[in-house]
Amino acid sequence: MAISAQDKIMHVANKLGLSSLKYMQASTGAVYDGINASSGSFDFFSEASQHTNPAITNINDNRFEVNEALLVETIGFYTFTGQGANGVQNLNTAGSIESNRIIVFDLIIGNKTVMKNTPIFVAGGPGTFASSGTQKVSQGPDLPTVNMNRHQVYMEGAGILIPPQVEYQVKAKVYDLNTGAISNELLGCYLYGTRVLLNFNTSI
């Protein structure tokens, strides 16, 4: 019997004693954060309050509010060229990360590493549960539509829950597969899945 996203949320909520979470509003959502400087080592979300919203990030704190949560079903990475003069991030065109690169990341919730040394091969291989490709993205009326690199991992099973009021972060490094050296990039990260929003009038 398959476990639904709601089942996973309620199971974890019961284990943590979050009895009121079942009265909240179910939704779909994502959080994202970028590092607006070339680097080979990234710490996403933990310093999001210092980044431009919404050009670089869409959060002010790396903790969800009381009775809000996110069941992470996809973790993705993307590239961009930094913040433009009009305050909008300029996304790189396809091929900005070379195919011989690998992204290795940890997902940390609270003081626990729940995903460790998880690889995403930029070229999409060898056989993994990660996908890679490009997607057309509109940057707004003053900027052209571009092809955005997207490299993502789909969670097996019912995902991983980030509960209310618990800090979360993603630590990542980009390596050159040929040399093993760290590769400097401009990188962003997003967490996508089933979202729980504060609403005492709706049940999930």
Of the listed ranges 16-25, 56-65, 173-182, the one predicted with least confidence: 16-25
Q: For residue range 6-58, what is the model confidence (pLDDT) as tens digits?
A: 777 676 667 676 667 676 777 888 999 988 778 889 999 999 999 888 878 89
The mean-pLDDT minimum among 4-8, 85-89, 129-133 falls in: 129-133
149 pLDDT higher than 60: no
- Residue 88: pLDDT band by 50, 70, 90 thresholds? low
φ/ψ (deg, to 5) at 123: -80, -5
Taking the C-alpha atoms of residue 5 and residue 64, their distance in angstroms, rounded to an integer, is 18
Of 131, 132, 129, give the one whose Cα is nearest residue 115. Answer: 129
Counting Cβ atoms within 10 Å, is residue 179 exposed (0-12), middle (13-18) or buried (19+)?
exposed
Which residues does 73 contact at the CB level (< 8 Å), separation at least 6? 5, 154, 155, 159, 192, 193, 194
Instruction: State the Rg of the chain over Cα.
Output: 17
Q: Which two tokens stand for residue 166?
A: 């618990």
Mind listing the pLDDT tens digit for each residue in 152-172? 777 766 688 899 999 999 999
Task: Compute the mean pLDDT over every residue in the chain, rounded to the nearest whole number.
Answer: 76
**What's the whole-model pTM score?**
0.78
> pLDDT confidence of 148, banded at 50, 70, 90?
very low
Query: Cα angle vertex 148, ends 144, 149, to 5°?
Result: 160
**What's the token pair of residue 55?**
């050009």
**182 three-class SS:** strand
List alpha helices for the chain, DSSP H. 5-16
